[in-house]
């Protein structure tokens, strides 16, 4: 009897718990389950609200430029493991720069292509020819024959500020006419996968993906300020770090690309070493910065202008150099401290341009006018 009493009490307690928590609530729920209404009542937003200023500008930039952005499809041949020819196809973007059908894109978009096809925004396709290439700047100009083309407006990439609004239009993953937006994240030199360096590359967080290469980067007015060229990502798609070639770099070589098919890259015809305060003190130089000319290329631009190389043999570590040459400290009023400074200034000029070099010859400071030669003719 003593054992039976706790068991009966436990069963009664469990039954009461089941009645009040499950059975009873289930009956109430079934009794109160709603019937099907004749009409569903929902809350709708007021239709067609006005767009804010930023949205209006986004739409304006898109419609202003979308007809000028093209899809570039390149077809090439490669060898497989058994040395058999295998066709390969790549896609990129580009944009129309004049009514004659010239299109600016990246060199790597059309490199080694045997056939290039351009698809306009109206879905019409045209065979394209390569007009000119500049591998060093990853630029190329191709051309199509088509009526009623709308060229883009090329802006100015000087004095860009971090934080400026930018837009990218292109064909990521083959999705034509895609607009993304962001800001200028930084201005910095960037090395491309093939080892070439983009001076003052425009870094942006606007989404850039495979297929965007060669497409335009635009400012808030819809003017081209860069050519989208590469991303930094571990997964092969946008991670918020994309880079564009400044449009001024392209504008400086466009005429050569269209008229000559190549770039008449300028050269001073000198070999130099950068000078820092420690080296200047050891060599007894009159300035603690600049580029010391150790050799002048015979017959080159510097040689014809009367610049002098070194005449006294010395060693910089284990490297033999020649001392006693002119010290370059400026070009056209711009201070020159490194070989990168010199390269950036050369990018703003073409062969045949005349520049004013500020140099030290011994302790004497002087200006010398130099007519730039062509790099391909000077080693």
Which residues are designated catalytic? 108, 138, 213
Write the CB contacts of 94 (distance below 8 Å, at least 6 apart in sequence).
69, 70, 72, 103, 104, 105, 109, 118, 142, 214, 215
Q: Match 């934080």 to its residue by tokens.
A: 163
Burial of 160 (0-12, 13-18, 19+ CB in 10 A): buried
SS3 for 329-361 is EEECCEECCCHHHHHHHHCCCCCCCEEEEEEEE
Tokens linked to 73: 């499809």
Residue 336 CB neighbour total at 10 angstroms: 24
Phi and psi at 373, nearest 5°, equal: -90, -170
Place of tokens 């070999």: 271
Long-range contacts of 277-281 (CB under 8 A, 24+ apart): none
Spatial distance between the Cα atoms of 373 and 346, rounded to a whole number of angstroms: 11
Tokens standing for 27? 């009956």
SS3 190: strand
Spatial separation of the C-alpha atoms in residues 379 and 374, rounded to whole Å: 10
Sequence-separated (6 or more) residues with CB below 8 Å from residue 31: none
Query: Is residue 51 within 8 Å of 59, Cβ to Cβ?
Result: yes
């Amino acid at each position: 009897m003593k054992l039976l009493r706790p068991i009966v009490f436990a069963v009664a307690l469990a039954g009461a718990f089941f009645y009040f928590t499950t059975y009873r609530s289930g009956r109430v729920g079934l009794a109160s389950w709603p019937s099907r209404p004749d009409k569903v009542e929902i809350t709708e937003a007021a239709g067609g609200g006005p767009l804010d200023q930023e949205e209006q500008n986004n739409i304006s930039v898109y419609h202003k430029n979308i007809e000028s952005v093209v899809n570039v499809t390149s077809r090439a041949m490669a060898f497989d493991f058994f040395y058999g020819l295998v066709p390969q196809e790549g896609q990129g973007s580009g944009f129309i720069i004049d009514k004659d059908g010239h299109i600016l894109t990246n060199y790597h978009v059309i490199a080694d292509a045997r056939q290039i096809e351009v698809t306009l925004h109206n879905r019409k396709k045209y065979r394209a020819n390569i007009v000119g290439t500049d591998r060093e700047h990853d630029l190329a100009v191709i051309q199509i024959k088509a009526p009623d083309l709308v060229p883009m407006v090329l802006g100015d990439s000087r004095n860009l500020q971090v934080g400026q609004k930018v837009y990218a239009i292109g064909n990521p993953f083959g999705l034509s006419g895609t607009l993304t937006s962001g800001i200028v994240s930084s201005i910095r030199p960037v090395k491309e996968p093939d080892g070439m360096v983009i001076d003052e590359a425009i870094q942006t967080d606007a989404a850039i993906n495979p297929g965007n290469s060669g497409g335009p980067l635009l400012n808030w007015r819809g003017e081209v300020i860069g050519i989208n060229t590469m991303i930094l990502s571990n997964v092969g798609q946008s991670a918020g770090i994309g880079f564009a070639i400044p449009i001024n770099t392209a504008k400086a070589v466009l005429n050569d690309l269209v008229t000559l098919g190549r770039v008449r890259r300028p050269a001073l015809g000198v070999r130099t070493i950068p000078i820092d305060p420690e080296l200047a003190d050891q060599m007894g130089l009159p300035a603690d910065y600049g580029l010391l000319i150790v050799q002048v290329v015979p017959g080159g631009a510097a040689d014809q202008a009367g610049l002098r190389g070194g005449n006294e043999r010395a060693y910089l570590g284990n490297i033999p150099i020649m001392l006693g040459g002119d010290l370059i400290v400026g070009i056209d009023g711009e201070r020159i401290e490194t070989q990168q400074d010199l390269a950036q200034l050369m990018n703003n000029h073409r062969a045949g341009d005349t520049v004013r070099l500020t140099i030290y010859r011994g302790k004497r400071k002087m200006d010398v006018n130099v007519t730039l030669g062509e790099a391909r003719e000077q080693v």
